[in-house]
Amino acid sequence: MKRIVTDAGKPGWHNKRLKKFIGKQFGRLTIVDWDHDVYYTESRVAYWRCKCCCGNEVIVAQSSLTAGLTKSCGCLRHDVAIESHTTHGMSYTRLYRVYKSMCNRCYNPNVKRFKDYGGRGITVCDEWLDKDTGFQAFYNWAIKTGYIEPPRDVKVNDITLDRKDVNGPYSPDNCRWIGMIEQQNNRRDNHIFHIKGERLTISQVYKKYNLSPSYISDRIHYGWCDDAIIYAILHPELGLRMKNGGYVDKDGFTVLIPRS
Ligand SMILES: [Zn+2]
């Protein structure tokens, strides 16, 4: 499935790309020469010899350079971690890891799953890939589609970013959160809530309290008890969230959940 070509044969298109890329700068790296090409099922990745500001030479996949995934020989990694932490403050969230691994699967041939994504021509839309605003755009979409960041001490493996059309790109139109939707459908009508003396299915609760699409399923997923979910619905002003297995309000004060 993977074929490495080290002699491009110097036909016209090869000379054209040499002209286009040699001397180009990506962060601390400057392209000095073509090294080789790797052919996958539906895509080809060029590898370029790059010189880093610090003096090191490295060979880097073109897609990693243009997607902004590689900006130095490795000497920058520390700086970038600090920079991205301070720009959006989200570097240590699960959502940011989801975002990075999406970009890596599509543009970084060094990751194992590249052959099934970038290697098959799967891309990330420009809006999400943008080096400066991409993560923010992805974040906005995620929140709008019902993503809730799990508390840091909770392990979540079964909520995944999914593409509706498996041959299509990662884009707002083609993506959805899989665990959440399933969760919602599974739990919707066999889970009964008792609110203020009324017996309601999840669908009825959604309707009655005009909740956002995954309000209940996400909280169930992250281990909230029914009483806490009900309390949060009845007291939205509290901004109730889970912390260390208990519940706190928006100011971080512990909230004791009354039995309903
Ligand atoms: Zn360097």
Q: Give the Å distance between the CA of 27 and the centre of ligand 1.
A: 10
Q: Give the Å distance between the CA of 93 and the centre of ligand 1.
A: 27
Q: Give the Å distance between the CA of 35 and the centre of ligand 1.
A: 19
Other CB atoms within 10 A of residue 216 CB: 27
Helix then strand count (H, E) for the chain reads 10, 11
Q: Give the Å distance between the CA of 131 and the centre of ligand 1.
A: 20
Q: Give the Å distance between the CA of 33 and the centre of ligand 1.
A: 17
Q: Give the Å distance between the CA of 28 and the centre of ligand 1.
A: 7
Q: Give the Å distance between the CA of 69 and the centre of ligand 1.
A: 14
| 79 vs 232: CA distance, rounded Å | 40
The pTM assigned to this predicted structure is 0.58
DSSP 237: G
Q: Give the Å distance between the CA of 46 and the centre of ligand 1.
A: 21
Angle at 112 (CA atoms; ends 73, 161), nearest 5 degrees: 105
CA 33 to chain CA centroid, nearest Å: 32
CA dihedral of residues 57, 59, 65, 67 (deg, nearest 10): -140
Q: Give the Å distance between the CA of 158 and the centre of ligand 1.
A: 38
- Residues lining ion ligand 1 (Cβ < 5 A) are 52, 54, 56, 72-73, 75
Q: Give the Å distance between the CA of 162 and the centre of ligand 1.
A: 35
Task: Bin 131: left if φ > 0, else alpha if -120 < ψ < 50, else beta.
Answer: alpha
Q: Give the Å distance between the CA of 132 and the centre of ligand 1.
A: 22
Which CA distances in Å does 232 have to 19, 82, 88, 258?
A: 60, 35, 28, 11
Return per-residue pLDDT of the chain as tens, 260 residues. 688 888 877 678 899 999 999 999 999 999 999 999 999 988 899 999 999 988 889 999 999 999 888 888 877 765 555 455 445 667 777 888 899 999 999 999 988 889 889 999 999 999 999 888 889 899 889 888 878 777 665 555 556 788 888 889 999 999 988 765 454 444 445 678 889 888 888 878 888 998 876 788 778 877 888 899 999 999 999 999 988 878 999 999 999 888 76
| 23 vs 39: CA distance, rounded Å | 24
Q: Parallel, antiparallel, or unpaired: how do β-strands 57-61 and 44-52 relate? A: antiparallel
Nearest to 71 by CA among 136, 128, 8, 132: 132
